[in-house]
Amino acid sequence: MPATFAAVFIALWIGHSVGDHWVQSSCQAAYKGLPGRAGRLACTKHVLCLTITKAAVLAPVALALGLHLSAAGLLLGLGLDAASHWWADRRTTLAALARICGKGEFYTLGTGAHPAHPVTAEGKPAATLATGAYALDQSWHTAWLGAAALIIAAL
């Protein structure tokens, strides 16, 4: 089972990276955190495409390595991962968790909201490659990928 867990986790992580960055549309990325129906719909579409991407990466890995994965394990693992991803990608939820955990300032790192935000020569907020919100978002997803891989491998 340890090898199955490792193979499943790696496949899910690859699927996550591809799905969260290459498959996600600009519209989904822009609107998934908005309040109301439009935000929920964009987030749902993103998570659906992301979950399909993860399954599409996992399937050939499982076949090539001869992994015996149950339908129950796949449904429960991918379902838990999808639900946790949707929750975090609504943005206000993860931001609130960051504040509760004492990571509120880190969450704003790299943005104009951070007290030590980077600035341009003109003194305006400067764009950065990544933010604290992005780092916390991705680490949240990675933790749940681990939980999903464990469920998929164990059932």
* Distance from chain centroid for Cα 40: 16
Cα–Cα distance between 153 and 5 in angstroms, integer?
5
- What residue segments make up the domains of the chain, in order of their start? 2-154
pLDDT digits (tens, 9 = 90+) for 25-59: 999 999 999 999 999 999 999 999 999 999 999 99
Supply the DSSP symbol for 113: T
Cα–Cα distance between 121 and 57 in angstroms, integer?
44
Instruction: Provide the token pair at 7.
Output: 């193979």
pLDDT digits (tens, 9 = 90+) for 133-144: 999 999 999 999
